[in-house]
Structure formats: C-alpha cells, structure tokens
Amino acid sequence: MYGPLLAFLVTSGAFCAAWAARGTFPFGDTGRAINDQAHQYVPFHRALWDLAHGQAAGDLLFTWRGGFGQQFLSDYYTYLGNPFSWLAVLVPRAHVDLAVFAITPITMGTAAALMTVYLGKLHPGPWWQRGVLGSCYGLCGWALSDASYIPMWLWGLVALPMLGIAVEWSLEGRRRPGAALLVALAWYGNFYTAMMATMAACVLLAIRLITLDMTGAQRVRALWRAATAAAIGILLTLPLLLPSFLSSGSAQPTRAAAFDPVRIEVFLAGMLPATHLWGGRPRLYVASLGLILAATFLFNTAIAKRTRLVWAAATLLVVVSFQFPPTQYVWHGLAVPNGNPYREAFVFSGMVVVLAWLALAHRPRPPHLALAAALLVAATFLLRHTDDFGGWTWPAVLGGGAVSLLALVLLGLSGKRRALLPVAAVLMVGVVFAESTVAAANADARRARERWAKPAATSGKSINEHFDAVRGVDGWPAYRTDSGAPQTSYNDALALRGEGPQYYSSYLPEATYRALEPLGYGYKNDGRTFFGADNPVLDAIFSIGARVRPGAARDSWSASTFPAPPLVTVRSAPYTSPNPAGSVYARQEKVLGATVYQVPPATRGGSATEQTYAATCAPGSEAYWYSPALYGTLASGGTQRPLEDLVTGVVPLGKVPASGRVEVTVSTRTQGATAGEHPVGCLDRAALDRQVAHLKATGATRVTTGGHSLEATLPQGSTGTAVLAVTAIPGWRCSAPVQNFHGLLALPLTPGTDKLSCTFTPKGLTPGLAGGTLGLLLLLAATTTTTLRRRRG
C-alpha cells in the first residue's frame, strides 16, 4: 500500500511542480492547451459534461453538435475512454479544462502505482524502493514529452503494468476473471496504446515462461490462461472496439507518410535523461537512477544467468524493433503512424525500469554502479552534438547521476550502518523528483517554442461571452445555430453548444467530406477537420437560423437570427443550375434547388505573387469569393483578410458597388496557383429569400430530434424527395429507403406520406454487443469455475 502511494505522490507531485515552475495553468497564466488538447480533448470533455448533465443535443451514439450531425460512440471511445475523463463531469462546465489538465498527473501517478505493484510480483523487496522505481516509470520521457497533453494516450502507461499483473496471475493459475477484467479495463481506456501494451505483455509473458522453473505442461496451461483472459477481456470491449474500427474504415483518408527511422545517434540520444528532441523523435529515457541500475543488470551475478540473458535480449529486441518499418507497423496495428512514429516508446521505458528493479532487488555492487554511471556520462559526451541535444541533459546526468550513485552506495552500506538507510531513501526519492521535475519543465519549455505547440486559452471572459451568445439564440431543433469562426478550437460547435459544420475528429466520415467540400466549406487535416462559412446559401441548405460573430468591443460577441428552412425540406423535381457547373456557386444551387447567384467570368492580371481579379455583377448584390488553391492575403473594397487556401472556404466580399465591378487583389505565396475562372459569385438576396420561404412552406411542419433519431411531420400531399440537412454518413436507417442527395440524407416520398423517421446506429454496434455479451458469459463461467475449484480445494 505504501509503495504505490509513494509512487503516485512522487510522480504526480513532480509533474505538478514542473507546471508551477513554468507558471502554467492552473499555477499561472501560461496556457497548457497544446495543439489537439485545445482542439479536441477539452471540447470533447465539455461534450461529455453536457451528456452527463442531460444538456447534450444527442447521446452516446450520436451528436447533433458539429459536422451537421456525426457519430459519437467512436469519438467517446477514442478521446474520452480514459476512466479519469469522468472527473470532468464533477466540476462546473466553465472549468472542464482544469479537470482535463488534472487527468495527466492523476493518470501518470496511477501508472506509477501499478508499476510498483507489478515490480513486487516480479521480485519481493522494500516498498519504498519499488515506489521510487515505479515513479521512474510514471515520469518516463514518453509520458513527459509525448503524452503529457494527450489524456487518452496516457492510459497506455497504466495498461502496461496492469497487463503485467494479469500475466503474473495467469502464470500463478489464479484470478483468471480478474486477469480478464484487467485486459478489458486496459482496452476500455484507449485501444491504441492498449494494443501496444498488450504486445508488450506478450513479450513479458514469453520472458517469464522461459525464465521460470516450470514444466512443459505448466507453461501450456499458463499460456492458455493468458490467451483466454486476453480474449475475454477484448470481447468485453467489443461494443466500443468494433464500431470504432469500422468508423475508422469509413473515415476520410489521410496522407500519412511512410516510416522514416531517425539516425542512430538521435535514437540513442532519446535515452538520455531530460532530453527533449524535436518533432517525431523517440523519447525513451527514464531518470538517471533507473538508467544506472538497469545498466548493472547484466553484471549482477546474484541474478540467474538465464534470467539476465533473456531479459536483456528481450529488451534489446524491443528497442531495435522501433527502428524497422515492418516491426513499427506491427506496433501501430499495421497502420502508418500519422505524427510521431515512436508512440510505443513507453514500452521500452517500462522494461528498463523492470531491469532496474531486478538489479536493485539483488543489491548491485558499488564497482558495477560506478561503471554504469561512467557509461552514462560517456554516452552523454559522445552524443552531445546530436541535433537538439537538451540543455538540461548534462545537469541531469552529472547532478542526478552523482546523487543517484551516492544514494545507491549508501543503500549498499546500510546493511552494516542502519542510519544510512533513511538518508539513502531521501536521496533516491529526492533525485527522481527533482530530475523529473526539471525534465518535465524542459520538455514543456522546448515544446512551447514549436509553432504548432503554442498554448491556447480554453477558458476566460471571451470564451464565456461567446458561449452565452450562442446559447442566447439557441433554437434547436427548429433551426441550427452556427457559433462562427473558430475562436479557440476546431470543435467550437461542441465546446459552445452550437450545431454548425465545425468538427475535428479522426473518425469524420468520408461521406461528410464529400458532402461539404464541394459546397465551399473550409477544411484541413486532409478533410478530417471542417470549419464554418459565413454564407447565407449554405445557411439555408443546412437550416442555420442563427449566427454568432465577433462584436465591436474586445471579448464581445454579437448574435443574429434570420429565417431558415426546417431540418427536413421537400424537393418536388430535380434542379439544374444554369451557372458554370464547375463553380462552387453552381454546386450550392444544386443542393438549394434554385438559381440565386450570378457567376461572371473573372479576368486575371498582375503577377504570380500579386494577382488581381475583376468581375462584373449586378449592383447591390452580395459578392463572395472562393479560391481553395491560394494562400496569402485577400484585399477587396478597402478591407484585407487572410486567405488560407483550403481552410478559408467561401468568404463574403460585401455589396457590389453601383459600377457593378468587383475587384480583388490576392498576395499569394502559393507557387503556380490561381483562383480559377469563377472565383466570384454574386448573390441575389431576394431570390434566396424566395427560395427559403418556399422551402419553409413545403418543408416539415414539425421536427423532433432524439439522442440519435429524427422524426418529421410533412404537409399533406407532399411528393418528391424529403431532404434532411444531415450528411449521408453510414449508419442511418429510415422509414423509407435512404438516398443520397448531393451528399445529404434523402428519402423518396410515396403518395400519402406525411411522416418520416430516421434512427442512427453506428456500424458494428449490434455484433459488438453480441461479442460483449459472449465475453460477459465467458467471464461469468470462468468466475463460477474458479469459485467451485476454491470450494473443492
């Protein structure tokens, strides 16, 4: 009990101390919402808060907020699976970001505590020594650098020792139901890193089967127990795992690059304490204390020779496998990693800590400790010129290494001089705490210098005002509210309770991309992130009846409402736009069902980098611009705005002057690209208003939405096609055969139809529930069998 508690306190305390030293939230004003933490994790946790408090537009299977309605089960499993994510529902909604940040030290501390328990199962020893090495694992380089701002990944850090404990139970022939539940808990928290931890557990099982004195029959039985526990555990998670797997297959593809291993000196530098390498580099280190002890493992003759050779060979093979594409793909589930390819680095750190514990439990000799410390210093010296060699690495190696060496020598002498034992204990705890605090602060400081890692605010006056403005014009499901351009995240619709197109998820379906991209919505991340577009035609297509924009004063927001068609409209006959078919404006008209734009040809002049465009439209109409190939600055009518190629989408230029001439200047950095022949579209507002009125008059008279369902009442005598302002993603079942209407969900109307209904069920949920039920039955059977055997015994 004391060992796990010590590990938890040292680990979480060191990480929080690094926060405080850097003055980061919540210990200062510097933000900690880095990259996807701001864009995904905080918004998704706010969605979880809404779900738990009955204020979500949707349920666990589906959300109406973001992407014009998207599946939610896979997003829940991927981004909210860490059980500590539920801490977010215990705080006021405005402070969910604080709970998200707190998940990191709590999860790291839990991982350290479980590693402490696992080490005790490998070999007995003093609780405080196991606790110190458990904290070395919880504060490994992968946790401090890669996963510190990714709550769900951190569950893999917990899963590894958890599965190690399950392996030991399988070897002992006891607690088979408990082992299955540990597997299920590991996979429930995050299947991605749990998969890596499971592969590591297979390595641990193989090592133990080889090194323990067991008969062949005992090894077979242990292997069978471990395999059945793993199968039952994974079956229990199938209701989440299978839909997520199928959702991934239906998601918009990304262009992940092939694995390119780093140079060997960079790879080795990743093993040095307090080193933070830039970009997709491996962070393999643990504190100097763990490295020094692990380096003595092979020299320690108190450990059986076979044990030393097998553990050392396995650890070497694991780390070498990180450098070869075939084995890297296996670690990542046969997928090309999108981002840092060394996401399994915590496995190596865990094995290093195991070696350190086995060495410490067998009392390493001082000469071996000195040799290990010298090797660490020599390696640091040889790698000092490596790219991005950390400025805190030398202090960690020399200072931390010296104190670690002193503590271990004093520990060795404490057998004869008991007074030295508490001194050694204080030094060991203190050096891990101090060195890890420095390493965490260094990782945060160096990461903050990267452009993509600039911290964003996730709470404050402006965000509160934005949220209040969105809620002030809420009309769901009579109409949607668009929260406007992203303020702090790509998931503002979730964070602010809007219902616009904004959505960022690894599971955003290809069907949604194919529906929204042709209409002029901006996007990035190869189409897995969509943004809004301030365009009244798009508002009409997707039943947006309220919009929020920045106000005149700082941190203020203004909201407006306007007529909008219902979520379900009726199209009586096919429509063909008279405008150029390749233009975004013609594509919008096809979905809207009416001609509302004038799309003139644009003449281009200027230079390759300073392009000028001119077009002629009806005076008084509203001009819009669309140029997804250009990146730079757009100037028109005396105003300038940034132009970010695919991200920008359709943008308003303002009223067409009395001359009818629309002039645009684009300063672009995009080599060889132009805006095309029809970048300008001029909207006839009166024509649009007539079409909106028509769609309202012929559309649904009443629409109700459930968590993952929709029902609509239509005017008597409706004929043609009912079009739902929802993208036609896989999983919808309706009262009539589902059709695709330019990417939107549509139903043919038979004579006399005055009502329709649709229900969304994620693909794979039904067989997943069947698999989960089977897993539960097998778990109950195993529990019953275990109970009967105990009674007979």
What pLDDT is attached to residue 281?
86
Residue-wise burial string across 65-85, b where 16 or more C-beta atoms lie within 10 A, e elsewhere: bbbbbbbbbbbbbbbbbbebb
pLDDT mean over 47-55: 96
Q: Is residue 397 part of a domain?
A: yes
Beta bridge partners of 70: 63
Tell me how far apart the alpha carbons of residues 157 and 109 are, in angstroms, rounded to a whole number.
Answer: 10
Percent with pLDDT over 70 in the chain:
99
Residue 270, helix vs strand vs coil: coil
The predicted structure's pLDDT at residue 125 = 94
Whole-prediction pTM: 0.94
The answer to whether 527 touches 499, Cβ cutoff 8 Å, is no
CA distance 539 to 475: 14
Digit-coded pLDDT (tens) for 532-571 = 899 999 999 999 999 999 888 888 899 999 999 999 999 9
Do 629 and 674 contact (CB within 8 A), yes or no?
yes
Query: Are the CB atoms for 491 and 504 separated by under 8 Å?
Result: yes
- Evaluate whether residue 787 is within a structural domain: no
Does the pLDDT of residue 237 top 80, yes or no?
yes
CA 415/CA 422 separation, integer angstroms: 12
CATH assignment at residue 638: 2.60.40
Residue that terminates a domain, selected from 410, 434, 449: 449
Q: Which residue range(s) make up the domain with 617?
A: 597-683
Q: Return the closest-CA partner of residue 429 out of 105, 132, 117, 12.
A: 132
pLDDT for residue 145: 87
Alpha-carbon 654 to chain mean position = 38
Average pLDDT over residues 751-766: 95
Amino acid at 43: P
CA–CA dist 406, 428 (Å, integer):
9
User: How far, in Å, CA of 617 to CA of 619, rounded?
Assistant: 6
Residue 765 pLDDT greater than 80, yes or no: yes
Length of the chain: 793
Q: List the single range of 119-123, 641-645, 687-691 with lowest mean pLDDT.
A: 641-645
Give a yes or no: residue 434 inside a domain.
yes
What is the average per-residue pLDDT within 249-270? 88
- According to the model, what pLDDT value does residue 453 have? 66
304 domain residue, yes or no: yes
* pLDDT reported for residue 518: 97
Count Cβ atoms within 10 A of the Cβ of residue 751 and give its class: 0-12 exposed, 13-18 middle, 19 or more buried.
exposed
Say which residue the tokens 């950390």 belong to: 390
Q: Hey, what amino acid is at 333?
A: G
pLDDT value at 460 more than 90 = no
Joined tokens for residue 129: 């020594």
Reduced to 3 states (helix: H, G, I; strand: E, B; else coil), residue 568 is strand
Side chain identity, residue 123: H
155 residue type, one letter: W
| 610-632 mean pLDDT | 96
CA atoms of 668 and 644, how far apart (whole Å)? 10
* Whole-angstrom distance, CA of residue 559 vs CA of residue 473: 7
pLDDT above 90: residue 257: no
Tell me what pLDDT residue 452 has. 67
In the predicted model, is pLDDT for residue 718 greater than 80? yes
Task: Please compute the mean of the pLDDT values over residues 583-596 and round it to a whole number.
Answer: 97
Class of residue 597 by CB neighbours under 10 A (exposed 0-12, middle 13-18, buried 19+)? buried
> Would you state the pLDDT for residue 756?
96
The residue among 334 and 369 whose pLDDT is bigger is 369
Better-predicted residue by pLDDT, 336 or 632: 632
For residue 26, whether the previous peptide bond is cis, meaning omega lies within 30 degrees of 0, is: yes
In a domain, 242, yes or no: yes
Asked whether residue 585 is assigned to any structural domain, the reply reads no
pLDDT-derived band at 338, boundaries 50, 70, 90: confident
- The answer to whether residue 564 is domain-embedded is no
Contacts of 24 (CB under 8 A, 6+ apart): 30, 31, 32, 444, 455
In a domain, 509, yes or no: no
Closest C-alpha to 299, from 315, 286, 312: 312
* Amino acid, single-letter form, for residue 312: A
Domain boundary among 449, 472, 497: 449
pLDDT digits (tens, 9 = 90+) for 621-631: 999 999 999 99
> Where do we find the tokens 């801490």?
87
Identity at 777, one-letter amino acid code: L
Mean pLDDT value across residues 257-278: 88
Residue 638 has a pLDDT of 82
Residue 793: its pLDDT value, please?
58
Span of 296-300, 308-312, 486-490 with lowest mean pLDDT: 486-490
Residue 110 has pLDDT above 90, yes or no: yes
Q: Which two tokens stand for residue 567?
A: 């979520």
Rounded-to-integer distance, Cα 253 and Cα 260, Å? 20
- Structural tokens at position 111: 């991982």
State how many domains the chain has.
2
Query: Which tens digit of pLDDT belongs to each residue from 173-220?
Result: 888 899 999 999 999 999 999 999 999 999 999 999 999 999 999 999
What are residue 759's DSSP bridge partners? 709, 733
Query: What would the pLDDT profile of 358-415 be if each residue is shown by its tens digit?
Result: 999 999 999 999 999 999 999 999 999 887 777 789 999 999 999 999 999 999 998 7
Tell me which of 683, 708, 726 is where a domain ends: 683
In angstroms, the CA 541 to CA 688 distance is: 11
Across the chain, mean pLDDT equals 93
